[in-house]
Structure 1
Amino acid sequence: MHDIRAIRENPQAFDAALQKRGSDAMSSQLLQLDAERRNKIAEAETAQAEQNRASKEVGAAKARGDDAEFERLRGLVAEKKAEVARMQAEAAMLDDRLRQMLLGIPNLPLDDVPVGKDENDNVEIRRWGTPREFDFAPVEHFEIAGVKPGMDFETAAKLSGSRFMMLKGSVARIHRALGQFMLDLHITKHGLEETWAPVLVLEDMMLGTGQLPKFGEDSYQTREGFWLVPTSEVPLTNTVNGDLIDQSTLPRRMVAHSQCFRSEAGSAGRDTTGILRQHQFEKVEMVSITDAENGLPEHARMTRCAEAVLEALELPYRTVVLCTGDMGFGARITHDIEVWLPGQDKFREISSVSYCGDFQGRRMNARYRPEGGGKPVFVHSLNGSGLAVGRALIAVLENGQQQDGSVQLPAALHPYLAGATRLTASGQLA
């Protein structure tokens, strides 16, 4: 969420930053509503002062025995009391309207984020690995002979409809191994704290990280009012919701492996084959809570943590900076890491690593006490996939596929598969 005081101080800069994102200028509407709110608060305070003066005079009139003045002043007090209540209610209504407007406005991009409309304007900053040259035409993951016995789309559709998957046997085991490997790497090598968190959260938690109110259609809600998390970013970031913590405890670096749920609203017709885009999937998610000075260094560090997973799995990738028109709602800057998928003959996103500044901290009212003293400061937050497990499975299968329908598995997974090094053409681990 944005600081209305910062908008008052420099409305032109606020509008210019929004327009870089393709959003309309908002400062005039916000400042008009803010002015109405502040005027109503001032009127309420004036009426309150008049009520207080009249209340004091009531006692004086009674002490003098001036019954007529006593009754007049009692009526004035009652009148002012009603006036104060009405004005306070109007001010609260205006305050809520302003808050709702601010909650629906995306974060402002950093100055060095490339300006653009969509993914075609993203800027590649580095590339790792060389895509394998096949002496046969590589196929997509679900077409590999050894994979077919382990991906049951028909049963998943019978159970739940479209965009669900059922993994079985060796493929399910490789999928599980990938999640375990990612967790272990982040915990032992990258210093993240393993966390197991709920996947059902309260509405305020979705508000805190920016999924609500604007993107409610992208998530699922239960009849009881809980929301299914689209990623563990929601519970992990909200661990500091409403808290005032010591700066000395920062950064807080967490990682969780969880089920995730997305309605994929607006994605009709996109990636309908295979398991690339599902309603239910697994991710290993990284979250950092830090102070204002260390947000950008932490962003670079988190990006390297995600890249290290792909390097350990021997998967070629490229890292891009998202342009202003392609960034997520809460981000100030985002690095997308795209893994090479030979079956599609293209790079596809497998991790987004975003720095949000104090945008989420302000929404959550999460602050820290500076070590040197002074007023509390809103925390800065970051989140990133480390990685999307299903997409990593796709990449491992497609990059390791052999002409006979088997799959060579990366060495990093061998210890997690009891020493197995490949998936045979018949779907067994060997």
Structure 2
Amino acid sequence: MHTQVAIVGAGPAGTLLSHLLHLQGIDSVVLERRSQEHVQQRVRAGILEQGTVDLLRESGVGERLDREGDVHHGVNIQFDGERHRIPLSDLTGGRTVTVYSQREVVKDLTERRQRDGGEVLFEVDDLTVDKIDTERPVVHYTHEGRTQELTCDFLVGCDGFHGPCRQAIPAESLSVYERVYPFGWLGILATVPPSTEELIYSNHENGFALHSLRSPELSRLYLQCDPNDPIEQWPDERIWAELQTRLGSPGWTLQEGPIIDKSVTALRSFVAEPMRYGRLFLAGDAAHIVPPTGAKGLNLAVSDVERLARAVTDFYGTGSTTGLDTYSEDCLRRVWRVQHFSWWMTSMTHRFEGPDAAFDRRLQRSQFEYLLHSPSAATTLAENYVGLASI
């Protein structure tokens, strides 16, 4: 079997790329090792940049997003109970962010691909890629008990950090940059209406906390913790007690409710360069990971595939390889800007231990006061948070 573009991974990057290519009359096959139910139920990011929202609307998959998404015009930064609102829209010419869960984005895209007759195969086993430095890459896999071979003009790895696509690139052809943080996030999903209309990022002496949102009935909250903590060490009572302490602010009350999901995730920054080898292109977590503090992972993946879709369209439409040839360089400019912003947000809001801890905390206090009193500092945070349109 042959297709123009083979895409490994049916998360938001893979399904969006397939959809964008379909709109240009370009065939693709999406291969995913997990079940459709698993992919659509994963609890992931929920903050969409203005550019991500615009793209989903323009490509015809924004109807439910517009109906159910929660548009935010500001975000709150808190230090030891003192809360300061950053007016995102006022500082960025009206740009906003929208709270809409990644799993809802995946549902919308998958349903659209299936409705359009797109080929999205779930529960694919034993997937390997071959001949990625030739004009006809090959994907070997098993589906529904049958061994298959798929050839393609282009192969795109949207298969995450542990997927096979990046692993297929010779080690000597890849440079890896990585930072592993000494803490993780305990994330919970609770069936309780959010206690805030806009996100709260809180720096407390006990550690970082974040109050996010998912819907009028669901709250998403996070606590800084040891990345090696067994989840059993965090019973519901302890979680709510820490959230109350770290998010507490005069005149504000955190509402509690049943916790229906909780997990511990390690934080890391990761970039693999280049994002292309031969006819293999990497996108999203296959090429880069950012700490979730800046709410950028999904948005960065969307930026990758939007750029790649244009490049592939140019190739089939005019024969031009310019977009394909500059794909990695163009993407990496945004990747490193986002890496810096995510690191900066993380370093400003989390508790660091060690001999320099007291010094670090004084620096964080200084940064908070700078945001409090400097419109320029607040604008820098705001324009990065809503997404830089010029990169």
- TM-score, normalised with respect to structure 1: 0.22
Q: State TM-score, norm by structure 2.
A: 0.24
Larger CA Rg, structure 1 vs 2: 1
Which has the larger strand fraction?
2
